[in-house]
Amino acid sequence: MRRLVQGGLAPRSLTHQKDGGRRPFKALSPSTAAVGDEHGFSELYHHRRLALVRLALLLVDDLPTAEDVVQDAFTALLRRHGRRLANLDDPEAYLRTSVVNGARSVLRRRRTARAHIPERERPFPSADHSVLLAETHQEVINALQRLTRRQREVLVLRYWSDLTEAQIADTLGVSRGTVKSTASRALDALGRQLEEIPR
């Protein structure tokens, strides 16, 4: 993990917010939520969208798709709960889980498409993509993409989203022990891959 921080790819280096995009969302009071507080939903969107796009981007490696995944998560939240966020114990956890599941769906569709459609040349990355993933970070991102899906999810949620083992276990629907062992194996694999890169 030290290599990630020294390489400038620590979670806070990818953010434009002073607090790293991890400002806790203030839960709405029941009386505020009862009247369908539009401000609360908008505040949640504005405070968490960028961090969720980063999470999705690290999972799907494509900015437009990552933005779609996050937009779908917010849309699902709005459809299911309306603007009454007090009905949810933790709206952020709901969105995180929705983003991870959306990213999994994207990756499944890509695998299916690759099996039936010949690979085509990837277009040049957009300016936004270049800003988020500077060339100096690309080797870490490439190494991260070579991990298993579960390993990548655990590392991204732990070190980029700064979640606890319990929060990761809840998001992925696995035990804390699975999170701990997966993180350990993933860090070892990532370290080996980064050591193999010639300097």
Same domain, 43 and 73: yes
- The identity of residue 119, as a single letter, is E
What is the residue whose two structure tokens read 């590392």?
A: 155
Number of domains in the chain: 2
Q: Is residue 108 part of a domain?
A: yes
pLDDT for the residue 27: 44
pTM for the model: 0.60
pLDDT for the residue 183: 92
3-state DSSP call for residue 141? helix
CATH number at residue 151: 1.10.10.10
Cα R_g (the chain), whole angstroms: 18
Domain that holds residue 49: 38-117
Greatest mean pLDDT among 102-106, 132-136, 137-141 lies in: 102-106
Round to the nearest angstrom and report the end-to-end CA distance of the chain. Answer: 18
Mean per-residue pLDDT over the chain, rounded: 76
Q: In the chain, count H helices and then E strands.
A: 10, 0
Query: Which pair of structure tokens corresponds to residue 107?
Result: 């990756």
Same domain, 42 and 80: yes
Q: Is residue 14 part of a domain?
A: no
Q: Please indicate whether residue 161 or residue 14 has the higher confidence score (pLDDT).
A: 161
Q: Is residue 154 part of a domain?
A: yes
Residue 13 binned pLDDT confidence (cut-offs 50, 70, 90)? very low
Q: Is residue 111 part of a domain?
A: yes
Q: Is residue 26 part of a domain?
A: no
Residue 124 binned pLDDT confidence (cut-offs 50, 70, 90)? low
